[in-house]
């Protein structure tokens, strides 16, 4: 019984740490060694996050950075509610969410590029 409770506590702590990392914009990706950029979008009271892998890209090259930015832009659209090619109608809330998500993710992406290059 004691071992089972310890496993439950460990699982709960891991889940809590992952949730906190995703809930705090910029924090999860700042020291991230696995080459993921966390894209956070807040629309209304809801916050969504997506981890975008750039491990396969050379961020020191223009082409690699351009490809990474494309992935981050798509993820920013997704976390802010862009579905099936359009938002109907495009709201100010969506624009704000998209702008903030993109700015934060690009900042983290640029920091990764500087470390790589």
According to the model, what pLDDT value does residue 3 have? 45
The CA distances from residue 10 to 5, 15, 21, 52, 59, in Å, are 9, 9, 16, 26, 36
The CA distances from residue 73 to 12, 18, 78, 105, in Å, are 32, 23, 9, 9
> Taking all residues of the chain, what is their mean pLDDT, rounded to a whole number?
76
According to the model, what pLDDT value does residue 112 have? 92
pLDDT at 39 over 90: yes
- Per the confidence metrics, is the pTM higher than 0.85? no
pLDDT at 4 over 90: no
Which range, 2-6, 24-28, 76-80, 88-92, has the best average confidence (pLDDT)? 76-80
């Amino acid at each position: 019984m004691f071992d089972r409770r310890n496993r439950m506590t460990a699982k709960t702590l891991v889940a809590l740490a992952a949730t906190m990392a995703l809930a705090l914009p910029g924090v999860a990706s700042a020291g991230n060694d696995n080459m993921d950029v966390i894209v956070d979008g807040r629309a209304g009271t809801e916050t969504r996050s997506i981890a975008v892998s750039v491990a396969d890209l050379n961020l020191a090259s223009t082409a690699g950075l351009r490809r990474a930015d494309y992935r981050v832009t798509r993820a920013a659209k997704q976390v802010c509610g862009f579905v099936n090619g359009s938002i109907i109608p495009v709201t100010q809330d969506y624009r704000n969410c998209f702008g903030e998500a993109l700015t934060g993710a690009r900042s983290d992406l640029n920091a990764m590029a500087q470390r790589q290059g």
